[in-house]
Structure 1
Amino acid sequence: MDTNVKEKGVTGGNLITVVKKKPGKLKKELILEGLCCANCAAKIEQKVGQLNGVASASMNFITKTLAVELEEINKMDEFIAAAKSIINKIEPDVVVREKVTDKSVKTVLILEGLCCANCAAKIERETEKILGVQAATVDFVSKKLIIDIIDTNRRDEIFHEVTKIVNRIEPDVKVIIGEQGKTKSLESHQHTHEHGGVDKDDFVKFALGAAAFGIATVLNFSFWIEFTLYLVSYLLIGGEVLIKAIKNIGRGQIFDENFLMCIATIGAFAIKQFPEAVAVMMFYQIGEFFQDLAVDRSRKSISELMNIRPDFANVKVGQSIKRVAPEEVKVGDFILVKPGEKIPLDGKVVEGSSMLDTSALTGESLPREVQSGDNVLGGFINKNGLLTIKITKEFGESTVAKILDLVQNASSKKAPTESFITKFARYYTPAVVILAAALAFLPPLFITGATFSEWLYRALVFLVVSCPCALVVSIPLGFFGGIGGASKNGILVKGGNYLEALNNVETVIFDKTGTLTKGVFKVTEIKPKRNVTREELLEYAAYAESYSSHPIATSILNAYGKRVKKEEVQGYNEISGQGVKVRLKGKEILAGNSRLMKSQGISYDTTEVVGTVVYLAVDRQYAGYILISDELKEDSARAIEALRAVGVKKTVMLTGDNKIAAEKIASGLGLDEVYSELLPNQKVEKLEKLDREKSSKSKLIFVGDGINDAPVLARADIGIAMGGIGSDAAIEAADVVIMTDEPSKIATAIKIAKRTKSIVWQNIIFALGVKAIILVLGALGVATMWEAVFGDVGVALIAVLNAMRAMKIDRA
C-alpha cells in the first residue's frame, strides 16, 4: 500500500480526505443506503482503507458515499465483494450500491386496489430487479410504488415491465402513473371489480352461502345431502378465493393467503370436517372485509390530517377578480382571501386584518392575528376579515406544497423495524408451510397409532395461522400513523426511519439565534468613538449591511429607518463568519465581530455586554460598536426540562455569538455545555466531537434554523429545523421540521416516537405471540381451525385497529 499523504478537514459539513495520489489509480464510489451511524461510517472507512490494493478510502457521511482509490484496476470485483462484506458486518441493514453517474428520475405509480401487504412486498422486490431501476419502494399505506429510474431511455419499457409484475402478482390491481398531480392509466382496460371490494353480487353470494351453511348445520340430513349443502356453501363463500389461488399458482405465486386458505379448507373437506371447512372460509372472508375496512378508514384518517391543499386562488386582475388554480399564480401577484377560505400560497398581507386558523400546519388551536405587513403561509384558514396578499413563493415552493410532499412521501423511508418485518415475512410463511407438511406426514410414519387424518388436521391449523399479514399491514400503518399524528402537532417527520431514531436520543445540540431565541433583534446601544457621531456610526453600519438578509442586518436597517442608496455601496465583500467590507463615498467600511477586527489588524475596545456586538472601522480606524439584543423564546426553558424528562442526557448550545451572551443564555436555560464564537465549519467539528463522546447506539440531534446550520443539520444523526422562520436550505437539510418554531416540540416529537414504537412492538409481540401459541396448541391437537382463523384474520384486524391509535396522539 502506498504511503500517500492524507489531510483531513471539514468543509461545509463534509468530512474530506485529500489524497496526494500517484497517477494511474482507479477511483470508485459506493453508495451506502440506510447508513445513519456516524461511528459506523468511521469504522467502515478505516476497515476498507486497510484492504489490500486500496490506496485511499474516504467516507462522506452526509452523502453516504464511500470513495476509494484502487492501485490495480483488474481487482475491482474482488474489492467490491470485500467492501460489501465489511459493510454488512458493521451495518447489516445498509444496502450497498455502486454509484451511477446518470441522475436517477423518481417516478410514482399508484397501485389502485392494492390491499395485500404480502403481495406489495413481492412487487417491490421484483421491481428492484428490473434493468434500469436503481431502487423501488412500495408504500402500502398510500398504495404508491416509488421507482428511481437511472436509465431514462428505458422508461416506457420499465413501466410495462412493472405492469406485468403487478398483473402477475395482483391481477385486479390497476397501475396508474402520477404526473404533476394528475394521473394516467398505463393500461386502457378498466377493472369492474377492485381487489378487496365488496359489491352487491358478492354480498348476495355470501348471504346464500351462509344460509346454506346454516341449514346444513342446524338440520339433520343424509351424508350426501349434507355434503352437497356444505360444498355449495363453500363455493359460494370461497369461490373467489379458490379462483385467485388457482390463478396465482399458474403464475408461480404459491405462498400467499389465498393458497393457504384453500389448502386448509380443502384438506378439512378431505377428512370430512365439512362444517369447519366452510366456517373457516366464511370467517376468513368476514375478517378480510373488516380488515380492509379498518385499513381504508386509517388511510382516510391520515389523509384528512393533511387536508390542507388549497383548491383555488382569487387573483386580482385590474379591477376584477379571477379564480384560478394555485399552480397558475405567480410571484408578485395579488390575491384576495375571503373569510372561511384557505390561503393558497405563501405571501405578505398588504391590506386588511383578520384572525387565522393555523392548526392544519402548526397544530396550534389558538387563532393568530395578522395585519398589513405580516407574512402568512399557504394552508392557513382566514376566519373573519378580508385580506389582500402579495404572493412571495410559487405554489411548488410554498410551505403547503412542501408539507404535502413531506408527509405523503414520508412512509417511503422505512424504519429499521419495518424493513426487518418485511424480510421476516419472506421466510416466515414458507417455513411454517414446510413445518405443516412435516407435521402431516412424519408422525403417522414414526408414532404408533397416529392416524394421517388427525395429523393432517393439525397441519391444516398450521396453514391457516401462517399468514404474516397482521405484521406486514399494521407495522407500516403504525409508523405512518405516528408521522400523521406528529404532523397534527406541527411536527413534520420526513420518514419512519427518523421517527424510530428519535427513540434513542442521548444528546440534543441547539443553535442559539432563531432556535432558543426569537431571532428578533433590536439595536439597544450605539457607542461611537472619537469624532464619529451616533447617526454617522449607524449610517455606516446600515450601508455596510444593506445587502445582507441576516436578522442582525435587518435590525440595523430598521434602526436606521431611512432609505439606503445601494448604488453608493461599492466593493461589497462578505467575509464568512466575521462580517462585511464595503466602500462608501470613498471610505472603506468594516462591520462585523471581534474576529473581523483581529483579522484586519485593527485595534478596538473590547466590551463585555450581553448581546451581539457589531464593531465598525472606517478607513481601518476603529469607529465604535452597535449592540443588538435578542430575546429568549417563552418555551425555551420548558423545552430543556421536557427533554430531560424524556431521557435526554446532554443538552448543548453551539453559536457564533460572543462568549458572554452565549454563557448567560446557557446558564439561564440550564444547558450542560455551551460553545461560542464558532464559524459554520467549527460547528461541524464540535458536533463530531460530541458525536464521538456519546454511546454507540444512541442518536444525536442538532436543532437549527439558519442557512449556516444546513451543514450541521445534515451531519447530525437527526437534524431538526425550525420551519416557521427557518431558511429553505435548513428545512431541506433537516430530517424533522417544527412548524411552530417552538423548541418544546422536540420533546413532543420524542414522546410521539416512543408511543409509536410502543404501539408497533405491541403489534409485533401480540401477533407473533398469538400465532406461536396457536401453532403449538395446533401441533398438540388442542387448537382447532376456529382458533387458527382468529390467529390469522382476527389478529390482523386487532393489530390494524391498534396501529390506528398512533394517529390519535394528544399534544404533549
Structure 2
Amino acid sequence: MSEMAALKKQYLLEGLCCGSCAAEIEREVGGLDGVSSASVDLASKTLSLKLKENAEPKAVAEQAGRIARRHGPGIVLRELDAGAAAGEGTGVSGRAKLRRAAVILAAALFAAGLALPLAGGVKAALFLASSLLAGGEVLIAAARSCVHGHVFDENFLMSVAVLGAFAVGEYAEGAAVMIFYRVGEYFEDRAVDRSKRSISALMDIRPDSANLKAGGAVRRVRPEEVAVGDSILVRPGEKIPLDGRVTEGCSLLDTSALTGESLPRSVEPGSEVLSGSVNLNGALTVEVTKEFGESTASKILDLVRNAGSRKARAENFITKFARYYTPAVVFSAVALAFLPPLLVPGAALSEWVHRALIFLVVSCPCALVLSVPLSFFGGIGGASRRGILVKGGNYLEALSRVDTVVFDKTGTLTRGSFEVTEVSPAEGWDRETLLDLAAHAELYSSHPIAASIRAACGSRPDPARVSGYEVIPGKGVRASVDGRAVLAGNAALTGMENAASPAAGTVVFLTVDGAYAGRIVIADEIKPDAAQAVQKLKEAGVRRTVMLTGDCRGAADRVARETGLDAACAELLPAQKVEKLEELSREAPAGGKIVFVGDGINDAPVLARADVGVAMGGIGSDAAIEAADVVLMTDEPSKLADAIRIARRTHSVVMQNVVFALGVKFAVLALAAFGAATMWEAVFADVGVALIAVLNSLRAGKPAPARRNER
C-alpha cells in the first residue's frame, strides 16, 4: 500500500440525515489536529479523511465520532473496510421499525383528534400525544443541540415551530408539522436508500471468498489471504476474486459490472482475467498476478467510494448558502414575531408569532443540501453503469460545460496495432537490409511502432549486434548496429524535413553513418467507432474536436479526414502538446472546458493540464486509473459523448432542484409575511419540496438526449 493510501480513511455516518449537521461535522472534523482535509457526502453518508503523516487514525476517529454525536445523538461512526461500497448497511433496523410504528400511531391519534367530536382539552391532549410520539426523538435531539450551541439545525427549528404552535393554541397545526416532517423524512430516506442500493448493486463486484488450490486440495479463504503466484479455482457462476492469468480451462466471462458491456468475453489458457468478472460456464484455474488490495475490483470500488469527497462547485455553494440562509430566515422570523406588534397599532402578538413559526418551518435547507449531492451521486452511478468511472462531482460538473475535446491519436482514435505497409530503401540499399537495421535499432523500444518493425523483419534481432542504444523523446532512437551509427525516427531526428513526401501512415526514416538509407511506413487502423464518437460529440454540443499527435502530417490528416475532426496538429513533442492545449484553452469561451482524451500512460502532462483528463481503455490499467479524472473502461471513444450527456443531465437536474426549492420557499416566506400562508403550506415547502427534489435527483444518472447545435 502506498503512503498516500495509508493516509486516507473513510467512515460511514449511520443515522446522518441533517444537511446542516453534515456541513458542521465536515467543518469541525477538518479542523482537528492530524486531519489534512475532511469531506462529508450526505448522499452516501460517508466521511472521507486525509490524515497528516504524524496523525493517529484511532484518536482522530474517536474525536470525529464525538463531534458527530454532538451534532446528532443517533449518529454512529463506523469505519468502512477496503472493499466495502458506500451505501452498504441500508437495511431497516429494529430502531427504525419502532420509530415507524410510533409515527403510524401518532397519525392515528392525530386523525382521531380531527374526526371525533371531543372536548377541547381532550383534543389538545391527543394532538400533544401524537406530537410526542412522532417527534420525541426530534425534541430530545433539539435539546442536546441547544446545549451544544447548535441552534440552527433542523431538529431545533422544527421543535420551536411545534412548541410555538402549541403555545398560541394551534394544536392541530403543531401536531401536523411534526407528523408530516417525520413522514417526509421517512420517504426521503427511502429515496436516498434506493439510489444508494442501485449503486451498491451496480458495484457488487467485491468477491466474498476465493477457492485456493494448494497441496492437491481446494479450500475456501478470504481474498486477502491469497498471495501473488497462488492458484485459485473459479467455478461457473462465481466472481473472479483477484486479477490473474488463466492456466487451465476455457470459459466465457461477464464483464458488464466493469465495462458496461453485455457481450461475454471468451478466455483460455494465457488470457488475462480481472477481478469482478463473473465466470459463466467453464471451470477456470487462475494464477494470481495481483494481491487483493491492488486488484481491479478493489481499485474501482475505492474510486467510486471516494468520488463523493471531490465535490462540485454547486455542492460547495449550497453548503455555504445553507450556513447563511437558515440563520437569516430565523432572525427574520424573530423580527416578524416581535417588531410588528411593537410598531404597528392593533397588531396581535399571537398572529405575528404564528407567521414567524411558518418562517421557522420553511427555514430548513434540506431540499437543497440533500438533493444536490444526491444528484451528483446518481450521475456518477449512472456513468459507472455504462463503464465510465468519474472520480468526483467536480469532474462531472466540468464535463457538463465542455467546449473542446482534444484527442491523442495512437490507442485513442486508432487501435494502436501497427503493421508495416511500405519499405522504401534508398539507392544502394535493399528491403531486407533496411528492415534488419531498423529492427535492431528498435530492439529495446516498447513502442507499438517498434514492435511492428521487429515483426516485419521476420528474424529475431540479435542483442549482441546492438550497443549505445538511446531514446530521443518524441523523435525516435539512436543506436550502434554492427558498429554503424543508426538513427531511426521522424524527419526532425534524421534531418529529412525537406525530403519527406506525404504518406498514409507513420513514417520512420533511417540514416546510417549520417547518410539517408530509406524509410518505412507503418499504418494504424482507425477504431470502428472513432468517426461515430466525433459525430456524437458534435450532436452533444461540443464546439470543437482536435487531435494532437507526434505522428507525421500525412498520418494525422488521414485520421482527421476519416473521423471528421475539426483540426489535427501533427509532429508534436510532449512539451509541445501541453503548449498547444494551453493555446486551445485560451481560445475557448469563458466557462468552456477543455477535455483531453488519451491512453493514460504516455500523456500524463497533457492529462494533468486539461480541465478534465480522460483515459481510454482503463480496464486493468493501473496507470490509467491513477492518471485520469475520468476513465472509460472499454476501448470505445464514443462513450465520451455518453459521459457528457450524463453530466449535462445531472447539471440540469441540479439546477431544477435549486430553482424549484428556492422558488417555493421564497414564495411561501412572502405569503407567510403577509398572512396568506398556513402551516400546511410551510410543511409542503419544507418536507414536500425536499421529497420532490430527492425524487427528481434519481433522474440524474440518465443521459440527456442528443441535441444538434446545442451551443
Aligned CA distance change for structure 1 residues 561 and 308 (closer, same or farther; 3 Å): farther
Which residue, 358, 368, 375 being the options, matches 1:478?
A: 375
User: Which amino acid in structure 2 is aligned with residue 507 of structure 1?
Assistant: T
Instruction: Identify the match of residue 509 of structure 2 among 596, 612, 615.
Output: 615
Are the equivalent residues in 2 in contact too, given 1:173–1:194 (CA < 8 A)? Answer: no
Measure how far apart 1:212 and its partner are. 3.1
Please give the alpha-carbon distance, in whole angstroms, between the structure 1 residues aligned to 2:201 and 2:249: 30
Matched, 1:700 2:594: yes
Distance 2:360 2:524 in 1: 67
In 2, the alpha carbon distance for the partners of 1:681 and 1:271 equals: 73
Q: Which residue of 2 aligns with 1:186?
A: none
Post-superposition offset of 1:323: 4.1
Describe the shift of the 1:649–1:539 C-alpha distance in structure 2 as closer, same or farther (beyond 3 A). Answer: same
The one-letter code of the counterpart of 2:519 is Y
Identity of aligned residues (%): 58
Paired residues of 1:104 and 1:150 also in contact (CA < 8 A)? no
- Residues 332 and 222 of structure 1: is their aligned pair in 2 closer, same or farther, counting only changes over 3 Å? closer
Residue in 2 that maps onto 1:229: 126
* Alignment equivalent of 2:28, drawn from 121, 126, 130: 126
1:547-567 per-residue CA deviation (whole Å, 9 max, x = no partner) reads 222211222333345555546
Give how far 1:176 is off.
2.6
TM-score, reference length from structure 1: 0.80
Q: Kindly indicate whether residue 251 of structure 2 is the aligned counterpart of residue 354 of structure 1.
A: yes
- Establish whether residue 686 from structure 1 lines up as the match of residue 580 from structure 2: yes
In structure 2, what is the equivalent of residue 177 of structure 1?
79
The aligned runs of 1:440-451 (5 Å cut-off) are: 440-451=337-348
Q: 1:653 aligns with which of 541, 547, 551?
A: 547
Question: What is the DSSP-based 3-state SS (H/G/I as helix, E as strand, rest coil) of the residue aligned with 1:554?
Answer: helix
Q: Aligned partners of 1:471, 1:725: CA distance in 2, in Å?
A: 35
Distance 1:397 1:554, change over 3 A: farther
**Structure 1 residue 798, shift from structure 2 partner:** 1.3
Q: CA deviation at 1:320?
A: 4.5
Post-superposition offset of 1:531: 5.8
C-alpha distance in 2, partners of 1:201/1:713? 52
What is the alpha-carbon distance in structure 2 between the residues aligned to residue 492 and residue 537 of structure 1? Answer: 45
Partner Cα distance (2:226, 2:83) in 1? 16
Residues 510 and 652 in structure 1, CA contact (< 8 A), matched pair in contact too: yes
CA distance in 1, matches of 2:663, 2:118: 41
CA distance in 2 between counterparts of 1:780 and 1:759 reads 32
Q: Within 5 Å, which residues of 2 pair with 1:88-167?
A: 105-150=7-52, 152-153=54-55, 155-167=57-69
What is the CA-CA distance between 1:452 and the residue it aligns to? 1.1
Residue 668 of structure 1 pairs with residue 545 of structure 2: no
Task: State whether residues 710 and 730 of structure 1, in contact with CA within 8 Å, keep that contact through their aligned partners in structure 2.
Answer: no
**Matched residues in 2 for 1:268 and 1:228: separation?**
14
Q: Which moved more, 1:272-281 or 1:493-502?
A: 272-281
* 1:590/1:313 CA distance change after superposition, 3 Å: farther
**Would the aligned equivalents of 2:12 and 2:77 in 1 still touch at CA under 8 Å?**
yes
Could you tell me whether the CA contact under 8 Å between 2:233 and 2:286 is conserved in 1?
yes
1:638 equivalent to 2:532? Answer: yes
* Contact 1:329–1:394 (8 Å) recurs in 2: yes
Amino acid at match of 2:436: E
- Give runs of aligned pairs for residues 200-219 of structure 1, distance below 5 A: 200-219=97-116
- Please give the alpha-carbon distance, in whole angstroms, between the structure 2 residues aligned to 1:605 and 1:575: 21
Moved more, 540-549 or 481-490: 540-549
Counterparts of 2:465 and 2:580, CA distance in 1: 40
Q: Deviations over 1:431-474 (max 9, x none)?
A: 11111111111122222332111111111111111111111111
CA distance in 2, matches of 1:312, 1:536: 56
Asked if the contact 1:705/1:725 (under 8 Å) is kept, the reply is: no
Is contact 2:617-2:636 (8 Å) kept? no
Residues 384-430 of structure 1 deviation map (CA, whole Å, 9 limit, x = unaligned): 23444444444333333222222111111110111100000001111
In structure 2, what is the equivalent of residue 729 of structure 1? 623
User: Is 1:717 paired with 2:619?
Assistant: no
Are 2:109 and 2:130, in contact at CA under 8 Å, matched by a contact in 1? yes
Counterpart amino acid of residue 450 in structure 1: A
Residues 167-212 of structure 1: CA deviation (Å, up to 9, x unaligned)? 21122212233454589xxxxxxxxx99997545434443443333
1:359 Cα deviation from its structure 2 partner: 1.6
SS across alignment from 2:590: coil
Count of residues in Structure 1 that have an aligned counterpart in Structure 2: 699
Deviates more, 1:425-434 or 1:581-590: 581-590
1:452 equivalent to 2:349? Answer yes
Inter-partner Cα distance in structure 2 for 1:311 and 1:557: 45
Q: Which moved more, 1:615-624 or 1:265-274?
A: 615-624
2:534–2:564 CA contact under 8 A, matched in 1 = yes
1:532, distance to aligned residue in structure 2 (A)? 5.1
Do structure 1's residue 248 and structure 2's residue 145 form an aligned pair?
A: yes
Report the 3-state secondary structure (helix = DSSP H, G, I; strand = E; otherwise coil) of the residue aligned with 1:515: coil
How far is the alpha carbon of 1:745 from its aligned partner? 1.3
Kept after mapping to 1: 8 A contact 2:18/2:153:
no
Aligned residue identity for 1:515: T
Report if aligned partners of 1:723, 1:731 keep a CA contact under 8 Å in 2: no
SS at match of 1:577: coil
Deviations 1:289-339 (CA, angstroms, capped at 9, x unpaired): 111122122111121121122333445446544544444444454444333
* 1:757-772 correspondence to structure 2 within 5 Å: 757-772=651-666
1:519 and 2:413 matched: no
2:400 alignment partner, SS class? helix
**Aligned residue in 2 for 1:23:** none
Do the aligned residues in 1 keep the contact of 2:127 with 2:171 (CA within 8 Å)?
A: yes
Asked whether the equivalents of residues 73 and 141 of structure 2 are also in contact (C-alpha less than 8 Å), the reply is: no
- CA drift of 1:662 comes to 0.9
Q: Residue 15 of structure 2 contacts residue 76 of structure 2 at CA under 8 Å; is this kept in 1?
A: yes
Out of 304, 311, 334, the position equivalent to 1:407 is 304
1:261-340 superposed matches below 5 A = 261-317=158-214, 319-340=216-237
Q: How many angstroms does 1:579 deviate by?
A: 1.6
Map 1:392-431 → 2, pairs under 5 A: 392-431=289-328
Residue 553 of structure 1 is matched in structure 2 by 450
Output the amino acid matched with 1:759: V
CA RMSD for the aligned pairs? 2.9
Closer, same or farther in 2 for the Cα pair 1:542/1:314, shift >3 Å? farther
CA distance in 2, matches of 1:727, 1:622: 39
Deviation, 1:483, is 0.6
Does the C-alpha gap of structure 1 residues 730 and 797 become closer, same or farther in structure 2, counting only changes over 3 Å? same
Seen in structure 2, the aligned counterparts of structure 1 residues 772 and 360 have a Cα distance that, compared at 3 Å, is same
Letter in 1 for 2:170: Q
When residues 394 and 567 of structure 1 are mapped into structure 2, their CA distance, relative to the original with a 3 A threshold, is farther
**1:665-719 CA distance string (max 9 Å, x none):** 2122222221111111111111111111112321111111153311001101111
Establish whether residue 748 from structure 1 lines up as the match of residue 638 from structure 2. no
Q: Which residue of 2 is the match for residue 570 of structure 1?
A: 467
Q: 1:762 to 1:561 in 2, by over 3 A?
A: same
Q: Is 1:597 matched with 2:597?
A: no
Structure 1 residues 367 and 568 mapped into 2: Cα distance closer, same or farther (>3 Å)? Answer: same
Q: Is the 8 A contact 1:120 1:138 kept in 2?
A: yes
Distance in 1, matches of 2:353 and 2:233, equals: 73
**TM-score w.r.t. length of structure 2:** 0.91
Residues in 2 aligned to 1:732 and 1:763: alpha-carbon distance in whole angstroms: 33
Q: Do the aligned partners of 2:245 and 2:270 also contact (CA within 8 Å) in 1?
A: yes
Closer, same or farther in 2 for the Cα pair 1:244/1:369, shift >3 Å?
same
Structure 2 residues not aligned, in runs of 5+: 707-711
Question: Counterparts of 1:646 and 1:494 in 2: how far apart (Å)?
Answer: 22
Q: What secondary structure, in the 3-state scheme, does the structure 2 residue paired with 1:781 have?
A: coil
The farther-off stretch of 430-439 and 345-354 is: 345-354
The 3 A distance-change label for structure 1 pair 348 and 153 is closer
Summarize the Cα distance change of 1:634–1:757 in structure 2 as closer, same or farther, 3 Å threshold.
same
Structure 1 residues 346-355 or 801-810, which shifts more? 346-355
| 2:387 partner amino acid | G
**Quick one: structure 1 residues 605 and 446, their matched pair in 2 at CA, closer, same or farther if it must change by over 3 Å?**
closer
User: In 2, are the aligned partners of 1:505 and 1:699 still within 8 Å (CA)?
Assistant: yes
| Residues 799 and 315 of structure 1, relative CA distance in 2, 3 Å threshold | same
What are the Cα deviations for residues 8-46 of structure 1, in whole angstroms up to 9, with x where unaligned? xxxxxxxxxxxxxxxxxxxxxxxxxxxxxxxxxxxxxxx
Q: Which residue of 1 aligns with 2:709?
A: none
Unaligned ranges ≥5, structure 1: 1-101, 184-192
The code of the aligned residue for 1:786 comes to W
